[in-house]
Amino acid sequence: MSADERELVRLASSGSGAPDDVRRALEAASLDVPSKERVEEMLARFPFPPPNDGGAGPAEGDPSASGATGAGAVASAAAGASKAAGLKLALALGAVTVAAAGTVLALRAPPEPSPAAPTHSAAPAAPSALPALTATNEQASAGASGVTSASAGASSSVAAPTALPKSGVSAGASAAPSASAPPPRAELELLKEAHQLRAQDPSRALALVSEHASAYPKSAMGQEREMIRIEALLNSGKRAEAKALADAFRAKNPTSAYARRLDALFPP
């Protein structure tokens, strides 16, 4: 007799004959789920790349839209539609990985005076990167608004990245190729800048990636970090080194969603 035929009566069901306390425990267990608000909060903090395709962003990010009706519902509709577009881009590690940082930074970053300052010193990348980032941040805050009280703080600090011309507090640090400021910078900020610079200033991007690797050795964004490193190496003409890393990456993460991207960069 196969196990298939023996699908068991679940203990929680009324006919199971399980003792009361077992049934009660299972009933209680089934109720132990996070509230809707909490799920939205987790989603808002999730470091996935939001859409970054210029045209779609501002419309969906219109804060008035989410203010009109139940914020959660509208935000989820907008997010659902647009994040889907963002997903593909992200998996190709397009221009996006990092735009999410705005959201996450806003919610998680310690109250540093100017998380945006380093971008300023990275002048060449800033002008093109900014508009998209701004739109994304607005969208993120629209999505989060009305959902959690934390997001009130978020939308104010979300504005920070757009307030670019800021005192050059960390200009020195980011100008030096091997910046090692004593307090590690927020991890997504590091990756964001590294990702932005991987084409224009690959050596700077590599320095940032190394900084990230030593400050956050167990980062959940390790795969993203390695992808940036590989692309930056490629852009500095170090193809052999990039290939070696790519091979190591593929060996370590054989099922990674970045495998296709690597196959495209280094045809087998």
Partner 1 sequence: MSPSVPPFTEVFRQHAPFAWRCLRRLGVAAGDADDVCQEVFLVVYRKLADLDPEASLRAYIYGVCLKKAADHRKKAHVRREAPADALPESDSALAGPDVTLDHRRALAKLDVALMALDEDKRAAFVLYEVEGLSLQEIASASGCPLQTVYSRLTAARRYVESSLAETREELR
The residue among 8 and 240 lying less far from partner 1, judged by its C-beta, is 8
CB neighbour list of residue 79: distance below 8 Å, 6 or more residues apart = 43, 143
Phi/psi region, residue 17 (left: phi>0; alpha: psi -120 to 50; beta: rest), is left
Is 264 a residue that touches partner 1 (CB under 8 A)? no
Instruction: Quote the Cα angle for 196-202-206, to 5°.
Output: 95
Binding to partner 1 (CB under 8 A) within 209-248 occurs at: 220, 223
User: Is position 256 an interface residue for partner 1 (rule: CB under 8 A)?
Assistant: yes
**Cβ atoms 141, 104 nearer than 8 A:** no
Q: Which listed residue (24, 131, 172, 247) binds partner 1 by CB under 8 A? A: 24
| Count of other CB atoms within 10 angstroms of residue 235 | 19
Indicate whether 4 belongs to the interface with partner 1 (CB under 8 A): yes
CB closer to partner 1, 81 vs 176: 81
- Reduced to 3 states (helix: H, G, I; strand: E, B; else coil), residue 15 is helix
Please list every residue from 65 through 94 that binds partner 1, using CB under 8 A: 76, 79-81, 83-85, 87-88, 91
Which CB, 169 or 265, lies closer to partner 1? 265
Q: d(Cα 183, Cα 49) in Å, to the nearest integer?
A: 26
Q: Which residue in 207, 198, 200 sits closest to 96, CA to CA?
A: 198
| Number of Cβ atoms within 10 Å of the Cβ of 250 | 17
CA distance 144 to 150: 9
Residues 33-62: x/- map of binding to partner 1 (CB under 8 A)? xxx-xxx--xx-xxxx--------------
Told to check if 254 binds partner 1 by CB under 8 A, we report no
Q: Which is nearer to partner 1, 46 or 244 (CB)?
A: 46
- Of 213 and 259, the one with the shorter C-beta distance to partner 1 is 259
Residues of this chain that bind partner 1 (CB under 8 A): 2-4, 6-8, 10-12, 18-19, 21-22, 24-35, 37-39, 42-43, 45-48, 76, 79-81, 83-85, 87-88, 91, 220, 223, 255-258
